Amino acid sequence: MNSPVEELLQRFVKIDKKGSTAVYIQLAQQIINSIQRGILPPGSALPGTRPMSRLLHLHRNTVVSAYDELASQGWIEIIPNRGSFVMRNKSQNLKSTATISNNTVPLQTGFDFHQAHHLEPVFETNEAPIVFSDGQPDLRMLSVSNLSRWYTASMKRTKIKEALGSHQKTSVAYEKQLCNFLNLSRGFHTAPENLLTTRSPEMSLYLISQLLFRPGDIVLVGTPSYFLANMIFHQAGAKIVTIPIDAQGLNVDFIRKKFKKGSIRCVYCTPQRHYPTTVTLSLERRFDLMNLANEYGFAIIEDDFDYDFQYESFPMPPMSIADDNGMVIYMGRFGQSLLPSFQTGFVIAPQNLIQAAKNYRQMIDHHGDFVMEQVLAQMIHEGEIHRLLKKSIQRYKKRCELFCEAIDTQFGNRIEWKKPNGGLAVWIQFKPTISLTKLAAQARKIGLELPNYLLYQDRNICGIRLGFGQFNEEEIPEVVAKLRQAYDLCF
């Protein structure tokens, strides 16, 4: 007759030998589950490996591996010549474990902490079949198998085992290749000493803001402006002041007339295509802004977030190229035509600022993602990035034309808009104005999601930034027709 423990195990342990999970892991997990549920109380003696193998019809080595796994996790104690026993100290925490599983964790802390209300969730999850973005690429265009091949090849390189541990040492190859790419594509003459790499443009901006701002410092942004940048500046303690945007971009004369020398800490701009309006900062105003920065002593953060997607002409060269006095901090996104996890941020600035930013980075991202950096470095070196960009630009240019045609056909003189010279989004303004909140609600009823961060409405603006990049040629007419349907439901 089996012991009580053997009977319990025979009753509760069910092994699927055809499953994808290793059999010894299945056995270990089910014994852990029995301990957590109190079926195997503290101090219980488990059957020996031979009796257990006979009981469950498993190979003895499988049971040995399962017991070793349980012991390594601290669930059981293996005592030579005596047996294996459920650990008492592990079982003493079962009450708290059960409490957590019953969802009785307190809803509120018993202590005070600082809540940043400006950091409320921006990106909401939803189940709508069609969701507009602010200009994201179409991930379906990517060959996942090719990316997987690049990643697997990097994982197999023996250098990785030697290099893991220090981000500063392991990122050298990627920094060199990224400098080569930026020097070739954007006209820079930069070196790794002037380059900071990060996991995202937002992380880049956060690090720079920590160095640049003190509470109360004034940062000028265009109106309307990029919501995530505003959140980062607010978190750093800066005072955000908006300045007008017209057909030539930021109104530099407004800065000169309204602000005194020494009163501005920084001007943040997206000169290639202003976010969200897609207006390009003219060449004349670029030089005017740089001259004013030299005169007033403020920094310029030049965010070139979608430089790579240019359709009608060559993109404007970065202001940073003409900066002789170290007033411009240039930042951007690399790999925008790849999967989001393959995309990185970067900053080009004077060496002393870059070194200070790297010192900050080591606190929150000491190791970085060495494997990913090696993948990207190899893709640059072998020309894969250039080939992907060339192919994707042609596809997105066609989508831009189709989207603009559909917008014009569906809305006509009900909106004001201008075809962008690049990027993956179009800015439209409704004339006469409507309630954008009502439009989003009506759109949601017919399966079309307009996230709140795309909507810009105040006394002077009634506009939406509509990303078209994620829709293919067949989807674009249907999506715009649904938007028009939602518009009609507002009246």
Residue 110, domain member (yes or no): no
Model confidence pLDDT, tens digit, residues 333-390: 998 878 777 889 999 999 999 999 999 998 988 777 888 888 899 889 989 898 888 8
Q: Are residues 410 and 267 in the same domain?
A: no
Which residues fall within 8 angstroms of residue 178, CB to CB, at 6 or more apart? Answer: 195, 197, 334, 346, 376, 377, 380
pLDDT of the residue at 107: 75
Q: DSSP string spanning 93-139?
A: THHHHHHHHTT-S-SS-SS-----GGG---S-----SEE--SS---G
| Max CA separation in the chain (angstroms) | 95
Asked whether the beta carbons of 416 and 431 are under 8 A apart, the reply is yes
Which residues fall within 8 angstroms of residue 154, CB to CB, at 6 or more apart? Answer: 160, 371, 374, 375, 378
Residue 245 pairs in a beta bridge with 250
Which residues fall within 8 angstroms of residue 408, CB to CB, at 6 or more apart? Answer: none
Model confidence pLDDT, tens digit, residues 81-134: 888 998 876 544 444 444 434 446 777 787 888 777 667 677 776 778 899 999
Taking residue 64's Cβ as centre, other Cβ atoms within 10 Å add up to 16
pLDDT of the residue at 100: 38
Residue 39, domain member (yes or no): yes
Q: How far apart are CA 12 and CA 56, in angstroms?
A: 11
Residue spans of alpha helices (H) in 57-93: 60-72, 88-91
Crossing angle (nearest 10°) for helices 384-411 and 370-381: 90
pLDDT of the residue at 5: 78
Return the H-helix or E-strand segment holding 332. Answer: strand 328-334
Residue 113, domain member (yes or no): no
Using the Cα atoms of residue 246, residue 283, residue 201 and residue 386 in order, give the sign of their dihedral. Answer: positive
Q: Are residues 353 and 243 in the same domain?
A: yes
Q: How far apart are CA 237 and CA 233, in angstroms?
A: 7
| CA 201 to the chain's CA centroid | 9
Which residues fall within 8 angstroms of residue 275, CB to CB, at 6 or more apart? Answer: 134, 225, 226, 303, 305, 465
Q: Are residues 196 and 257 in the same domain?
A: yes
Q: Are residues 149 and 136 in the same domain?
A: no
Residue 85 pairs in a beta bridge with 45, 77
Residue 122, domain member (yes or no): no
Domain count, the chain: 3
With a cut of 70, which residues of the chain have pLDDT below it? 1-3, 89-104, 117-118, 120, 125, 156-170
Residue 197, domain member (yes or no): yes
pLDDT of the residue at 405: 97
Q: Are residues 411 and 422 in the same domain?
A: yes
pLDDT of the residue at 102: 47
Domain of 61, in residue numbers: 4-96
Q: Are residues 214 and 312 in the same domain?
A: yes
- What is the DSSP secondary structure assignment for residue 235, as one 8-state letter? H
CATH code at 36? 1.10.10.10
pLDDT of the residue at 99: 40
pLDDT of the residue at 101: 44
Strands 195-198 and 344-348: antiparallel
pLDDT of the residue at 104: 62
CATH code at 185? 3.40.640.10
Q: How far apart are CA 50 and CA 39, in angstroms?
A: 22
